[in-house]
Amino acid sequence: MSCRHFARFSMRLMSVACLLLFATGMLMAQTTSTGAITGTVTDPSGAAVPNATVLLTQQATGSVTPAATTSTGKFTFTALPPGTYQLSAVAKGFSTSKQNVVVRVNQMTNAPFKLQIGSATQTVEVSSSAGTVQVDTTTAVVGGTITAEQIKNLPNIGRNFLALAQLQPGVQMIDGGNFDPTKNGFAGLSVQGAEGRTTEINVNGADITDQTVGTTTLNLASSSVHGFQVSQSSGDTSSDIGNTGQVNITTNHGSNDWHGEAFANYRSARFAANPTLTTVKPPFKQNQDGLSLGGPLVKNKLFFYVNGERYDRNAYSSVEMPDFPQYNGFFLTPAFEKDADARVDWTITPNFKMFYYFAHGSNRVVPPSVIGGTSLQPFTNEDVSNLHDISATYTHGRFTHTFHYDHLLFVNHIYSNPVAGAPNIPINIAFQDTGESFGPNLLSPQSTMQFDDEAKYDGSFYFGNHTVRYGVEYNHIANDVYAAFFASGPQVGPSVSNGPVNGGSASDITAYAPEFVVFANGQGYFSNLAVHGQPYGGVFNQRKSFYIADTWRAKSNLTINYGIHFERDPGEVNTDLVHPSVVGNAFPTLAHAANIPNNFSPTVGIAWDPSGKGSWVIRAGAGMYYQNNIWNNVMFERSNYISAAVAPAFPFTNGNKVLDAFGNCVFLCNGGSALTTQSIAQLTPTLLQVQTQLSASAAAFARSSAAATPTILGVPGQSAPGSNIGGNPLFDSTYRSPYAMQFNFGVQHQLMPGAVLSANFVENKGFDLLLQQDLNDVGAARYLNQAAAITAINAAASDLGTAQGATPQDTVQNMLNAAAKGQTYVPCGSCAATPITNPIIQSELLGNSSGVSLGSGTNTAIGSPSFAFGGRNPNFGNMTTYRNGAVSEYRALQMELRLENFAGFGAMHISSLTVSYALGRLDANQFSGSFGGGAGNNDNPRFYYGPEGYDRTSQLSVGGVFNLPWGVRFATVNHFDTGFPVTPRLGDTGSGPGKIFQTDFYGSGSTGNILPGSNLGAFNRTLGSPQALQAAITNYNASEALTDTPAGEALLSAGLMNQSQLSALDLVKPYINVQVNPQQIMPDAFMDTDLTLAKDIKMGDRFTLTPEIDVFNLFNVGNYDPPGNVMGGSLGVGYSPATAGNYGSPDSLTNTTRLGQFNKYGLNTGTFASGIPRAFQGRISFVF
């Protein structure tokens, strides 16, 4: 942070502090990181006692807050930090009544009083269930809390507290590396099978969600978290974005008692099973330690809490290079993280309280995904996050007012960083035929910055039987993204099969000649907006929202909740962009930019206690919740409107000239023979020089008059005729925010004190989800351009030297006859004569000297069609557009048994026990609902629909802490989840523009279609066995293979080819030429059992020393198919039937055997590593 920025921030913070001290405001607070208490005061007959005094005492700080009951006897306390409180009720003519109450995150606890006749000096202690789980009789929210006791005592590999959220039904933890390279070192939560990007995460009411690619911006130390709630359905009305769940976290704070902890964890390969498939165990060592301290600065007035944790991991990934064995072995993939926070709480008066909170997180990791297998292209991902949070709460009478301000800074960097033993070369080498790769990673360098300045008023007041909450929010979010792909070194693509050149050694990775080179221009901006001192790269949002909600105690045993939330996010669409009129004239829905959505979301819920005793509740809820639009989508559209001089560009050559930004030739100016006659080692100095020239010319061009007016890239009609007209997707003007309708119905019952059973049916129906659709219908069979098709046919004949016939069919037949006779042709001036074959004829038809193809593709010149199936308007290419075209639906039965402070059996005391189960299904049109994947059928985006995302049919979790005699503590966490679905798709036919004749089964231009007779996620669902998959393949081969797609039928209808010609040229549907291995298995289920055994050794009244042993994956279960790395769904294809024993690629859904699994659960990029092979950990802690 610069000095100037720090000064500005300090002034801003001081201004906010002054406002907090002198403004009580008109609005008030219960944020989602706090809790509430409500109740009624009645006399022995059950009649309401009005104007009774209720005192609330926070046990940790001694703070006392008074309230008076309404005419109906009701009282409410809101905006309460979670913890234990004492309530006392006093009224004239009645004895004083007291009870203890536990407040939990984002929950309202019901605490009624029935006063007894007597003197106020007499005290009646009400039997209380404080410290135990209770039935929630006040809301319809489906969710659960993880308490401080669970966070402290449950086994948790890596100490990422979010991992414990998986004790809630239907929740999974996802490695941040699955979302984006910039999220390595973080984690996300998938709720109800969703991808986890848009799950809202709040800390003490501050939003820490990553706006660019999703999930979180800040890792918190586990020992800093007091508790958190995962909300799944009928979430709080005050929440900003909630269609895929919310996580509300509250942190620890100081008290009148001094308390602290020091701990150290150690784990190494010596005490662990082999995590690889090799016989040699790789080295591994992990240290994790931390300190915390809290207490009073001024007793009953001022309190503090500080905490810090450090994580240091030295892990190694196994690399196996079949062609370059000198690089086989284990390579270091280190990870280091520091998390710290501090909090100060100030009780100014009993009715006026403030706190300041600061959190810092930093991590540095080399992801295992970039080193391992056949990859040796490491990069380092580095993150730094700082959160400042200040809040004040003022209570007077029945009103509570809270003002909240937070400032978040998140900075990410990705840079190339060779590790010991890897070849330290300046060139990215990617062998095309073997997948072996070396050198700098193409993803570096990158940087991302996110600034949040969030101000909120929240609050509540109560009257009669109503508690009303309302609030407003303003959040200014500014991001800067820079990604100069390939700038760390140009990429070359050789092939091992071609062999080394110029007498080089086959074991030398630089002795091969490249088939192509990809350069970089050294630029990396995606936006024309200035931000954070950068001239470009900015994205902004000024989020404004308000809400109002009422909790109405309609009867003593019936509560009705209803409310509405409004939100306006102008930065989630590029409203300032002006689309060219030529685009709007051709595509009316692109005539102007999308409008700013005004999002109103109503919620309603009921909770009915049929017993009237708080032991039962029947509840139902419904609500509308919106989804955040990931800013990558916004930047991709904006990148069409930025100068070519500052946007990333990747000059590519496979023999053609390379020009700089001013049009000057800088490489292969005299022809491309150098690529095939010189080795990578010989070319390296030249390639690096060219890369430098390209970067310098781009930088100079950005300052020149030629770049004064930014060139609009990718928008047809704005460039001169003949220039490229491809581009990134645009937002359709009809775009609106995706949303979900959530419904839930369930019951909750207290089986006995300390034991509650819940059962809920939940449904989440997603609407208007984002997808990409081509408005120009490129490749659609109905838009055959016959003139272009005839041009392609005649040009192919000319290239092959065969005669042009009287009709296109005759011309095609002449080429086929020439092939049958073994005639030859000369493909280039210096080339030898080559026999004409049917594959060569197909290749010429799809790409020839005329520049016009018989197939489909993006037209490369305005007004000059270059493909026979070029779409509805030949003046345009693919008009890929973000549209609201997809839907989803999650349905599940979720059950949870929860015990707290339960007597247990014999001498065993159950401190906590959670048993949860979810039986559900997520169906959708596509997995990436927030990133907007392409439509599988461009004409009907909802055609494909099935289990997607992280859908698991069954999820069972058990977690408990058990106190045994002699200070021994036993704890366990267990998970069992059924396997993920896999979508069976026809593999790549390798024919580019000709794929519409082979795998576009519905004529929409979308290729690589799903196996007919199946659907999304069919394998492991509707195709429930390998035998069912084989039957579907057999049926396809018998009924579909070698028949025509709609594109082929279009050629037949136009008389351009006949059926025998299409078949001879393989322009028909292929066979699936693989069989299902008899030993094929289904996608693997996940099973994990973690244990902790600890012994508390008391050292006087204040101190406790605790040695501990943790065992992760006790039974050493081999877990495969982790999220983001499930067995492949591609089915091999060809034009000959399957031969016996051809089972396709290993690790696919036709050739994955129990002994041939590769995608094993391994170390994730953050601190967590659930499901890895068995590992032991030692721990020692000192607590006072």
**Per-residue pLDDT tens over the stretch 61-84:** 999 999 999 999 999 998 899 999
Q: Does residue 219 lie in a domain region?
A: yes
Of the residues 195, 220, 250, the one at which a domain ends: 250
What does each C-alpha distance from 823 to 810, 833, 847 come to in angstroms? Answer: 17, 9, 20
**Per-residue pLDDT tens over the stretch 185-240:** 999 999 999 888 889 999 999 999 999 998 999 999 999 999 999 999 998 898 87
SS3 785: coil
- Listing DSSP states for 462-526 in one string gives EETTEEEEEEEEEEEEEEEEEE-TTTTS-EE---GGG-BSTT--TT-TTSBPPS-EE---S--B-
Q: Is the pLDDT of residue 6 over 60?
A: no
Q: Is the pLDDT of residue 24 over 70?
A: no
Number of compact structural domains in the chain: 2
SS3 610: coil
Q: Does residue 1106 lie in a domain region?
A: no
**Would you say 137 and 110 are in contact if contact means Cβ atoms under 8 Å apart?**
yes
Of the residues 250, 276, 310, the one at which a domain ends: 250
Q: Is residue 92 domain-shared with residue 147, that is, in the same domain?
A: no
- Six-digit token pair at 127? 């039997």
pLDDT of residue 585: 84
Q: Is residue 165 domain-shared with residue 84, that is, in the same domain?
A: no
Mean local confidence (pLDDT), 720-748: 79
SS3 686: helix
**Per-residue pLDDT tens over the stretch 523-559:** 999 888 888 888 889 999 999 999 999 999 999 999 9
Cis peptide before 445 (omega within 30 of 0): yes
Using left for φ > 0, alpha for ψ between -120 and 50, and beta otherwise, residue 828 falls in: beta
Report which secondary-structure segment, H or E, holds 309: strand 302-319
Q: Is the pLDDT of residue 419 over 60?
A: yes
Q: Is residue 110 domain-shared with residue 151, that is, in the same domain?
A: no
Q: Is residue 150 domain-shared with residue 120, that is, in the same domain?
A: no
Q: How confident is the model at residue 715 (pLDDT cuts 50, 70, 90)?
A: very low
**Per-residue pLDDT tens over the stretch 629-670:** 888 999 888 888 777 778 888 999 988 899 998 889 999 998
Burial class of residue 1017 (count of CB atoms within 10 Å of its CB; 0-12, 13-18, 19+): buried
Q: Is the pLDDT of residue 129 over 80?
A: no
CATH number, domain of 234, equals: 2.170.130.10
Q: Is the pLDDT of residue 929 over 80?
A: no
Q: Is the pLDDT of residue 15 over 90?
A: no
pLDDT of residue 1130: 94
Q: Using CA atoms, how far apart are residues 499 and 511, in angstroms rounded to an integer?
A: 8
Q: Is residue 150 domain-shared with residue 228, that is, in the same domain?
A: yes
**Would you say 771 and 885 are in contact if contact means Cβ atoms under 8 Å apart?**
yes
Q: Which residues contact 793 (CB under 8 A, 6 or more apart)?
A: 808, 811, 812, 845, 854, 1056
Q: Using CA atoms, how far apart are residues 561 and 908, in angstroms rounded to an integer?
A: 40
Q: How confident is the model at residue 1124 (pLDDT cuts 50, 70, 90)?
A: confident
Q: Which residues contact 1016 (CB under 8 A, 6 or more apart)?
A: 923, 924, 925, 926, 936, 944, 945, 946, 947, 948, 981, 983, 1010
Mean local confidence (pLDDT), 989-999: 89
Q: Does residue 63 lie in a domain region?
A: yes
Q: Using CA atoms, how far apart are residues 1087 and 781, in angstroms rounded to an integer?
A: 48
Report which secondary-structure segment, H or E, holds 12: helix 3-22
Q: Is the pLDDT of residue 498 over 90?
A: yes
Q: Is residue 121 domain-shared with residue 146, that is, in the same domain?
A: no
Q: How confident is the model at residue 817 (pLDDT cuts 50, 70, 90)?
A: very high
Q: How confident is the model at residue 873 (pLDDT cuts 50, 70, 90)?
A: confident
Q: Does residue 238 lie in a domain region?
A: yes
Q: How confident is the model at residue 830 (pLDDT cuts 50, 70, 90)?
A: low
- Output 988 or 1079, whichever has higher pLDDT: 1079
Q: Is residue 236 domain-shared with residue 153, that is, in the same domain?
A: yes
Mean local confidence (pLDDT), 970-983: 97
Q: Using CA atoms, how far apart are residues 911 and 47, in angstroms rounded to an integer?
A: 37
Q: Using CA atoms, how far apart are residues 1042 and 1135, in angstroms rounded to an integer?
A: 8
Q: Does residue 148 lie in a domain region?
A: yes
Q: Using CA atoms, how far apart are residues 146 and 135, in angstroms rounded to an integer?
A: 16
Q: Using CA atoms, how far apart are residues 980 and 193, in angstroms rounded to an integer?
A: 10
**Highest-confidence range of 182-191, 193-202, 369-378, 756-765, by mean pLDDT?**
756-765
Of the residues 99, 125, 151, the one at which a domain ends: 125
Low-confidence winner among 307-311, 583-587, 916-920 (lowest mean pLDDT):
583-587
- Output 178 or 718, whichever has higher pLDDT: 178
Q: Is residue 107 domain-shared with residue 42, that is, in the same domain?
A: yes
pLDDT of residue 928: 66
Q: Does residue 292 lie in a domain region?
A: no
Low-confidence winner among 71-80, 807-816, 856-865, 1089-1098 (lowest mean pLDDT):
856-865
Q: Residue 496 CB: number of other CB atoms within 10 A?
A: 17
- Six-digit token pair at 469? 């909450």
Q: What's the gap between Cα 1108 and its chain centre?
A: 34
Q: Residue 3 CB: number of other CB atoms within 10 A?
A: 7
Percent of the chain with pLDDT over 70: 93
Q: Which residues contact 1052 (CB under 8 A, 6 or more apart)?
A: 1044, 1058, 1059, 1062
SS3 assignment for 1110-1168 = EEECCCCCCCECCCCCCCECEECEECCCCCCCCCCCCCECCCCECCCCCCECCCCCCCC
Burial class of residue 229 (count of CB atoms within 10 Å of its CB; 0-12, 13-18, 19+): buried
Q: Is the pLDDT of residue 722 over 50?
A: no
Q: Does residue 593 lie in a domain region?
A: no
Q: How confident is the model at residue 108 (pLDDT cuts 50, 70, 90)?
A: confident
Q: Does residue 43 lie in a domain region?
A: yes
Q: For 633, what's the count of Cα atoms within 13 Å in the CB-facing half-sphere?
A: 27
CB crowding 654-667: b at 16 or more within 10 Å, else e: eeeebebbeeeebb
- Six-digit token pair at 464? 């009669």
Q: Is the pLDDT of residue 711 over 80?
A: no
- Six-digit token pair at 1162? 């391994």
Q: Is residue 121 domain-shared with residue 94, that is, in the same domain?
A: yes
Q: How confident is the model at residue 28 (pLDDT cuts 50, 70, 90)?
A: very low
Q: Is residue 120 domain-shared with residue 178, that is, in the same domain?
A: no
Task: Name the residue with tokens 């081969």.
Answer: 1037
pLDDT of residue 862: 58
**Would you say 296 and 254 are in contact if contact means Cβ atoms under 8 Å apart?**
yes
Domain that holds residue 62: 31-125
Q: Is residue 162 domain-shared with residue 88, that is, in the same domain?
A: no
Q: How confident is the model at residue 19 (pLDDT cuts 50, 70, 90)?
A: very low
pLDDT of residue 1106: 97
Q: Is the pLDDT of residue 725 over 80?
A: no
Q: Is the pLDDT of residue 136 over 80?
A: yes
- Six-digit token pair at 618? 């029947």
pLDDT of residue 195: 86
Q: How confident is the model at residue 729 (pLDDT cuts 50, 70, 90)?
A: confident
CATH number, domain of 96, equals: 2.60.40.1120
Q: Is residue 151 domain-shared with residue 109, that is, in the same domain?
A: no
